[in-house]
Amino acid sequence: MSLPAWRLPGHARAEAEVLRAQGVASWPALAALPDGLVRQLAGSTGASEATLRRLRGQARLVVQVGLEPEQAALLLHAGIADARGLARADPQQLWVQTGRLQRRLTGEAVAPPDLPTLQRWIARARRAAN
| pTM attached to this predicted model | 0.86
Alpha-carbon span 94 to 116, nearest angstrom: 11
10-residue averages of pLDDT along the chain (130 residues): 70 86 91 92 82 93 92 91 94 93 79 92 92
Indicate whether 3 belongs to any domain.
Answer: no
Would you call 104 exposed, middle or buried from its count of C-beta atoms within 10 A (0-12, 13-18, 19+)? exposed
Task: Return the SS3 of 114.
Answer: coil
Instruction: Quote the number of domains for the chain.
Output: 1
Q: What is the pLDDT of residue 17?
A: 87
- Three-state DSSP at 24 gives coil
Give the per-residue pLDDT at 4. 63
Question: Does some domain include residue 2?
Answer: no
Q: Is 55 a member of any domain?
A: yes
Return the pLDDT at 96: 93
d(C-alpha 75, C-alpha 81), whole Å: 7
Residue numbers of the domain that contains 56: 10-129
Q: Residue 2: its pLDDT value, please? A: 59
Q: Residue 64: inside a domain, yes or no?
A: yes
Residues ≥6 apart with Cβ < 8 Å to 9: 69, 73
**Side chain identity at residue 126, one-letter code:** R
Q: What is the predicted pLDDT for the residue at 8?
A: 81
| Within-domain flag for 29 | yes
